[in-house]
Structure formats: structure tokens, C-alpha cells
Structure 1
Amino acid sequence: MRLQHPSGRAAEDLATEFLVAQGCQIIERNWHCRRGEIDLIVWDGSVCVFVEVKMRTSQAYGGAMASITTTKQRKLILSAQWYLHTRAQPEPACRFDAVLIDGNGHIQWLKNILECS
């Protein structure tokens, strides 16, 4: 089991509360496999959503969205593929979202941040 920084845990708690308030159903938190980790897996209606949560107190270096690098994107895709392979039959409609939280606690939900096949 991996240790998580308290601010990361707090950001995921805020994101969870926010998504539930938006009508999403939380399926998994901090789902791990050998390919990586997915912060949150939720149902948004009939769509399975893989959510990356990022909190940044500063906009320096591009802010929270800039921290979702191509390496992180690749890990998210591989992890999601593995999750679907091992858990979901038949495969549901899916998307990748980001929940970004700034230093003031402002939450921004970006839907469909990645395209993959």
C-alpha cells in the first residue's frame, strides 16, 4: 500500500464530495494496478469516468492541468484499460476527466481530457 500525502488525500476528499454533489456515483478511490493508479473511478450516468485529481496552490509552472503530463496520461490509459479488462463486462462507455483544485478551494471539473481508442 502506498502512503499518500495529507494534502493529496484532502484534495481527493473534496473532489469526491464535489462529484457526488454533481450526481456521480463513486466506484473506486485510489485504484492501483501494476500499470499505475487512478484517483477516482465514478459513474456519471451510464458512463464510466476515470478521474485524475490535482491540487495546486500556485499557478506557477502551469498550474494543476500542466501536471498531467504525457507520461501520466499514458499511465492513466493503461490503468483504465486494465481496470476494464478485469472488472467490466461488457465494456461501458468511458471517458477521462480531471478535477482541478486551486489554493482557494475552487474546483474545476474538466470532462473528456484525453482521447484514446
Structure 2
Amino acid sequence: MANIRDDSHLVDGARAEARAQAYLEQQGLTTWMKNYRCKTGEIDLIMCEGDTLVFVEVRLRTNRFFSSAVESITPAKRQKMIRTAQRFLQERGLVDKHACRFDIIALDAKGQHAKPEWIRDAFGIY
């Protein structure tokens, strides 16, 4: 029997990221890049609000019983995101050229039309 892999979580994740991007663009942010990857990790969305670069982590919540969007980001995940953002800034010669912050967009999988929860500056000013 063939091994069938369930990639539905990837499809759900891509939809969540597209929904988050559209929501943030409606709020006036502009998209610089989606799914930036390097050896240190991945950042779902890199956006700009004025002169501030915004590194966005999209969290799809299927069950809020376990943890909130912010609580689901462990200290190790936070450090990984910071290192990945630093690499992005270094690769593009943007170190010390922009203020930066880390935002979280939490989406409820069951509420397709529910307003996303936007947690601005989730890590404090970077």
C-alpha cells in the first residue's frame, strides 16, 4: 500500500499566511517578502510600516485550549526568528537602516471570516 502523506497542514498554513498578508496590507503595511528562508530559519512575512521593517509570524490556531498565539512561540523559536531577521538585514545591507519589530498574526481556523488577532511588537522593540 502506498504511503499517502497528508499535506493539508501546508495548504492551511499557506492560506493563513495569505489571509494575514491581505489583512496587514489593508491596515497599510506593504509586503517586502514572503517566506524568507535561510539556514537559521524562516520568517513568514516581511513587511514595512512607514520606516519600520516588520517581521511577521503567522499562527493558525486550531484549538485555543492549549495556548495563545504568543504563548505558542517558545523562547527558542523567538531566538530563531531574531537570528533569521538579523541574517536578512545583513544580507541586504539594512543593519541600522530601519527600526524593526516582530508582530504575530493569530488566525482561528474555525472562523474563516473572523478578524485576525494582530499582536504588534510581540517581542519588544528590536
Instruction: With the length of structure 2 as denominator, give the TM-score of the two structures.
Output: 0.84
Alpha-carbon shift at residue 46 of structure 1 (Å): 1.1
Please state if 1:16 is matched with 2:18: no
Counterpart in the other structure of 1:70: 75
Higher helix share: 1
Q: Residue 94 of structure 1: which of 87, 96, 100 is its match?
A: 100
**Higher Rg of the two aligned structures:** 2
Q: Which runs of 5+ in 1 are unaligned?
A: none
Q: Residue 111 of structure 2: which of 81, 97, 104 is its match?
A: 104
Q: Check conservation: 2:56, 2:105, Cα contact below 8 A.
A: yes
Instruction: With the length of structure 1 as denominator, give the TM-score of the two structures.
Output: 0.90
Quickly say closer, same or farther: Cα 1:38–1:28, change in 2 above 3 A.
same
Quick one: distance in 2 between partners of 1:98 and 1:88? Answer: 25
Describe the SS at the equivalent of 1:62: coil
Please state if 1:43 is matched with 2:48: yes
Counterpart in the other structure of 1:113: 122
Where does structure 1 differ by over 6 angstroms across 4 or more consecutive aligned residues? none
Q: Check conservation: 1:57, 1:104, Cα contact below 8 A.
A: no
Describe the SS at the equivalent of 1:58: coil
Counterpart in the other structure of 2:3: none
Structure 1 window deviating more from structure 2 (4-13 vs 26-35): it is: 4-13
